[in-house]
Amino acid sequence: MRHFKRISAAALLVITILISGGCADTGKTEGREFFEKAQAKQEQMEFTEAKKLYGQAKPLLIEEGDNKKADEVRQNLQSMEIYEATYPYSAGEIEKLLTEGLPDIPDSKIKGWIKDGELEHLTIDGKTRYFDQAYDNIPFRHMDIMWSLDNLQSSYQKFLVPFIENIVMSSPESNWQPFEKPNSYIGTGTLAIPRGELPDNGVLKLWFPVPIISGSQEPVSVVSVTPDNYIKQPPSTDRDIGLIYMEVPLDSLTTDLNIRIQFSFTHYEQRFAINPENVGEYDKESNEYRQYTRSYGNTYITPDIEATARKAVGAEKNPCKAAHRIYNYVLDNIDYSFMPHGIMWPRSDTRESVYVQENKRGDCGAQSMYFSALCRAVGIPARTTGGWQLLTDKFEDHFWAEFLLPNYGWIPVDPTVAEFAFYLKDLPDEDREAYKQFFFGNQDAMRCVTQVDVDVPLIPPAVELVLLPCAIQEPAALCDTMENIPGELIDKHWTLDLQVVSKSRGNLW
């Protein structure tokens, strides 16, 4: 046994001060010191150094009994992994990708895109990294390239022409009933994960998206869930977000994980015959008005957004006409662009609506959040609604917008699908304009709504950030015994199949 001499109280105080970094009353442990240094490096985007420091911090935190901070290490490492996966390419790698994918584009032009900052990029570890969908964004910003790509032209031709002929140019069945020509569907979701890809213990928490009941969508039914013993929360088909919550105890899971969910829903085409002069007054004291005119989350209103909204609206006071002006502003000024959603708020301070305002680009969700923010900035309640689009008889992620009109209700607006009109080179101007304007106040029946707005809390609320917090179109997942990102594992093994039960208009494709 090792023997120690008796230490005086004064000497013990000195030792304590030295161990704690020279400050006896901070209460900061060695593990906490490493954690805070790592966190600072992470905030400075010095990920390599941050990972080393987190690696030193975690065993110390566990030894010190600070399990909460030790778990934050796991979450912060996953967050950095999401950033790196979102921006994976070096300048040389993105140049090679563009050169091989667009062989008819001169090298000088590609180098110019990289040099002038057109491609989304981020500095990590002092090096410029490029967005994983930077290549896919190029045709949407350069119509000469879009019009030269035969595969894209064929796809837009196949959709736009029959859509214009069969829906846009057709007359509504009623001048007073906005919901008509329903389509009915069955969706089957399957999650099949090999046992070896899951941790030995812990609890896998899963939120599966399902349709909700809305004005344009009913009836809705969860037909079956197999197995049902994992269910911890009944399906929330009558709430603001449709979810089935499950917990899988991994220590008792001895076989592969297999979960199957089947649901049915009917979605109606929307045709709003709006007389702007018949629009009533908003009840500005109502909870609904306050909720959907507030600046919150990714539908954030900055002074620049408010100024843009007021300029777009001008002197127009009628909310229907004002919203129409905002819609046209978005169509004329915002390019389609895939987005780095995974690193937006609340994972960072970057809000989707602000990103669009500053960059003049965004995808379906971002454009709709921007439209909603512009409307809210001038006192028009608006929200970003969505889930899936079913244009090709498949579930495809999609979001659109809605704004509220007294005496009429929630009016659909889809600036992103309307922009398809720009992409087909040989489309008559009259058809192009008719198609664009159809998506203000009208909507096809090839939709499935799973949430009424973005940034709606999960049911039950998640205790930490899921992979994509603002919108749940694939199952969300958490597991505190999993070092890799749970949401990515789920996406890898999740399939969602669509069965068309009946269609009022047949297949447009």
pLDDT digits (tens, 9 = 90+) for 202-225: 999 999 999 999 999 999 999 999
What's the confidence (pLDDT) of residue 175? 86
CA distances for 39 relative to 67, 78, 127, angstroms: 17, 13, 19
| Per-residue confidence (pLDDT) for residue 119, from 0 to 100 | 95
Q: Is the pLDDT of residue 17 over 90?
A: no
User: Same structural domain for residues 359 and 309?
Assistant: yes
Answer whether residue 24 shows pLDDT above 90. no
CA 100 to each of CA 93, 110, 111, 141, 144: distance values in angstroms, whole numbers, following the listed order: 11, 11, 13, 19, 18
Claim to verify: residue 441 and residue 302 sit in the same structural domain = yes
pLDDT reading at 484 higher than 50: yes
Asked whether residue 15 is domain-assigned, the answer is: no
State the total domains in the chain: 4
Residue 8 pLDDT > 60: no
Residue 383 CB partners (closer than 8 Å, separation 6+): 292, 299, 372, 401, 402, 403, 410, 452, 453, 454
Name the phi and psi angles at 392, rounded to 5. -105, 25
Closest by CA position to 447, among listed 368, 409, 393, 504:
393
Q: Tokens for 419, please give them.
A: 């922009």
- Residue 353: domain span: 150-176+274-451
Q: Are residues 223 and 333 in the same domain?
A: no
**Residue 337: CATH number of its domain:** 3.10.620
Per-residue pLDDT reduced to its tens digit, 230-265:
999 999 999 999 999 999 999 999 999 999 999 999
- What pLDDT band is residue 508 in, cutting at 50, 70 and 90? low
Percent of the chain with pLDDT over 70: 94
Residue 93: both structure tokens together: 């790698």
Is residue 7's pLDDT more than 90?
Answer: no
Return the pLDDT at 22. 40
Query: Are 293 and 436 contained in the same domain?
Result: yes
For residue 125, being part of any structural domain is answered with yes
List pLDDT tens digits, range 50-78.
Answer: 999 999 999 999 999 999 999 999 999 99
DSSP state of 384: E
Q: Is residue 163 in some structural domain?
A: yes
Q: Residue 21 pLDDT more than 80?
A: no
Tell me the average pLDDT of the chain: 94
Structural contact between residues 468 and 165, judged by C-beta atoms closer than 8 angstroms: no
DSSP category for residue 202: S
Which positions ≥6 away from 92 have C-beta within 8 Å?
A: none
Residues 189 and 263 both lie in one domain:
yes
Q: With respect to residue 292, please indicate whether it lies within any of the assigned structural domains.
A: yes
- Residue 40 domain-assigned? yes
Residue 14 lies in a domain: no
Reported as a single tens digit per residue, the pLDDT across 87-136 is 999 999 999 999 999 999 999 999 999 999 899 999 999 999 999 999 99
- Judge if 293 and 418 occupy the same domain: yes
Same structural domain, 95 and 222: no
Residue 288, classified by CB atoms within 10 Å of its CB into exposed (0-12), middle (13-18) or buried (19+), is exposed
| pTM as predicted | 0.93
Q: What is the model's pLDDT at position 238?
A: 98
Quote the pLDDT of residue 117. Answer: 87
pLDDT category at 10 given cuts 50, 70, 90 is very low
Is the model's pLDDT at 320 over the cut of 70?
Answer: yes
C-alpha span between 466 and 1 (Å, rounded): 51
Do 162 and 288 belong together in one domain? yes
Residue 462 has pLDDT above 90, yes or no: yes
Same domain, 480 and 445: no
Query: Are 416 and 445 members of one domain?
Result: yes
Same domain, 492 and 375: no
Mean pLDDT of 2-19: 36
pLDDT of residue 422 exceeding 90: yes
Beta bridge mates, 246: 206, 231
Q: Is 459 domain-assigned?
A: no
Give the pLDDT of residue 509. Answer: 61
Q: Which range, of 174-178, 356-360, 480-484, averages the lowest pLDDT?
A: 174-178
- Is the domain of 325 the same as that of 435? yes
φ, ψ at 124 (rounded to 5°) = -125, 130
Let me know if residue 17 belongs to a domain: no
